């Protein structure tokens, strides 16, 4: 890392399992104080017992007051924040009609509005901690439009938000990155279907994404796809749409996020 993490402050949302938990462990091991955010207090406390620089924070990212209170706490305790990892997210179900609307709106509220609430609440603290980093965990589904439609919509929104913010926050010395994982096996995304089919070889582990977060911070990247080979699909989508569509149909059959 050219950025020296020791003694710096990070906030990781969705830290109670999967990618967020692995990222919290990784950043704490690198010497950072990590505010670990999620709703399941027991999980966060378990994590903090193993890593003394992890601070468990029971916060729902759909609750604006709770997110603002967390930012006030970090301000009072440290006065700055160097890394915000907006990772909290949920998968979406099929979007077949009226019956699925509440589920879709919930997905957007957590995955998109949650990112906006946290980024807004921590903006000044990040500026105080500059050079600072916002790592938004979007998805390959935010580049390709595959899988549950509302989930893809939420991740396209995070990709667009990240791309635009990366430009406008450069002058504040805050690097904003869209981090786009492919199939990763976690509690919320068990990848049961993917593991059964031709995509099985492509299913990765959360630690792969945690390592990518560290790489993003070390090299001040504004975009990272993990594993990197998924970038080939994104390129194919633009250069050879019919071939891409044929592959996407296979991925679509493999990639539901709920069992
Ligand atoms: N796994 C994949 O294949 C994959 C691929 C691309 C992108 N992603 C993205 O990666 C991120 C992490 O997912 P994961 O795979 O690690 O799944 P996961 O193990 O289910 O983790 C999701 C995390 O988000 C937290 N969370 C959910 N709703 C929340 C809320 N309202 N407020 C605060 N925290 C909330 C959960 O904690 P609590 O339930 O305790 O609140 C949990 O810690 C998500 O944004 C997901 O879309 C995953």
> Is 151 known to be catalytic?
yes
β-strands 132-137, 83-86: how paired? parallel
Q: How far apart are CA 25 and CA 186, in angstroms?
A: 16
pLDDT class for 247, splitting at 50, 70, 90? confident
Residue 61 has phi, psi (to 5 degrees) of -70, -5
User: Rounded mean pLDDT of the chain?
Assistant: 95
To test ligand 1's pocket by mutation, which of 159, 161, 186, 207 has the most ligand atoms within 8 angstroms of CB?
186
Alpha carbons within 13 A on the beta-carbon side of 57: 27
Residue 39 has phi, psi (to 5 degrees) of -95, -25
pLDDT (0 to 100) of residue 226: 96
How many angstroms does the Cα of residue 20 sit away from the middle of ligand 1? Answer: 7
Catalytic residue (choose from 35, 151, 230, 244) = 151
Assign residue 82 a region (left: φ > 0; alpha: ψ between -120 and 50; beta: otherwise): alpha
To test ligand 1's pocket by mutation, which of 11, 21, 89, 213 has the most ligand atoms within 8 angstroms of CB?
89
The residues spanned by each domain of the chain are 9-254
CATH of domain 9-254: 3.40.50.720
To test ligand 1's pocket by mutation, which of 19, 143, 195 has the most ligand atoms within 8 angstroms of CB?
19
How many angstroms does the Cα of residue 142 sit away from the middle of ligand 1? Answer: 15
pLDDT(258) > 50: no
pLDDT class for 10, splitting at 50, 70, 90? very high
Q: Which residue has the higher pLDDT, 133 or 258?
A: 133
How many angstroms does the Cα of residue 62 sit away from the middle of ligand 1? Answer: 13
Token reading at 231? 């970038």
How many angstroms does the Cα of residue 111 sit away from the middle of ligand 1? Answer: 9
Q: CA dist 228 to 25, 213, 253, Å?
A: 23, 13, 22
Q: How far apart are CA 113 and CA 136, in angstroms?
A: 12
Provide, rounded to the nearest whole percent, the portion of the chain with pLDDT above 90: 88
Token reading at 179? 């981090």
Report, as an integer, the average pLDDT of 220-236.
95
How many angstroms does the Cα of residue 168 sit away from the middle of ligand 1? Answer: 27
pLDDT (0 to 100) of residue 259: 34
What residues are in contact with ligand 1 under a 6 Å CB criterion? 13-20, 38-40, 43, 60-62, 87-90, 110, 137, 139, 181, 183-184, 186-189, 206
Torsion of CA 39, 158, 150, 198, to 10 degrees: -90
Report, as an integer, the average pLDDT of 114-121.
99
Q: Is the peptide bond before 227 cis (omega within 30 degrees of 0)?
A: yes
Per-residue pLDDT tens over the stretch 52-94: 999 999 999 999 999 999 999 999 999 999 999 999 999 998 9
pLDDT (0 to 100) of residue 20: 99
pLDDT (0 to 100) of residue 253: 64
Per-residue pLDDT tens over the stretch 181-216: 999 999 999 999 889 987 888 899 999 999 999 999
Q: CA dist 256 to 88, 96, 121, Å?
A: 19, 14, 33
Per-residue pLDDT tens over the stretch 141-184: 999 998 999 999 999 999 999 999 999 999 999 999 999 999 99
pLDDT(50) > 70: yes
Torsion of CA 17, 23, 26, 31, to 10 degrees: -110
End-to-end CA distance of the chain: 39
Closest to 172 in 3D by CA, of 223, 125, 219, 115: 125
pLDDT (0 to 100) of residue 249: 84
Q: CA dist 243 to 108, 141, 251, Å?
A: 30, 18, 13
């Amino acid at each position: 890392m050219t950025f020296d993490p020791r003694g710096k402050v990070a906030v990781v949302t969705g830290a109670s399992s999967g990618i967020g938990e692995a990222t919290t462990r990784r950043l704490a091991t690198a010497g950072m104080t990590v505010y670990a955010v999620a709703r399941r207090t027991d999980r966060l406390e378990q994590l903090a017992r193993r890593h003394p620089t992890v601070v468990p924070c029971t916060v729902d990212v759909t609750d604006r007051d709770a997110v603002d209170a967390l930012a006030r706490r970090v301000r009072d305790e440290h006065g700055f924040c160097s890394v915000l990892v907006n990772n909290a997210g949920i998968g979406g179900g099929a979007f077949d009609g009226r019956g699925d609307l509440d589920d879709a709106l919930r997905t957007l509220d957590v995955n998109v509005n949650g990112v906006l609430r946290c980024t807004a609440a921590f903006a000044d603290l990040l500026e105080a901690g500059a050079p600072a980093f916002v790592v938004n965990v979007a998805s390959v589904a935010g580049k390709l439009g595959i899988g549950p439609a509302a989930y893809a919509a939420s991740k396209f929104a995070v990709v667009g938000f990240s791309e635009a913010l990366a430009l406008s926050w450069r002058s504040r010395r805050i690097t904003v990155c869209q981090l786009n994982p492919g199939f990763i096996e976690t509690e919320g995304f068990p990848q049961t279907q993917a593991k059964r089919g031709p995509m099985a070889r492509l299913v990765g582990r959360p630690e792969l994404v945690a390592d990518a977060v560290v790489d993003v911070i070390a090299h001040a990247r504004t975009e990272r796809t993990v594993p990197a080979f998924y970038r080939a699909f994104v390129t194919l989508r633009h250069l050879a749409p019919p071939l891409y569509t044929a592959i996407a149909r296979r991925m679509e059959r493999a990639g539901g996020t709920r069992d």
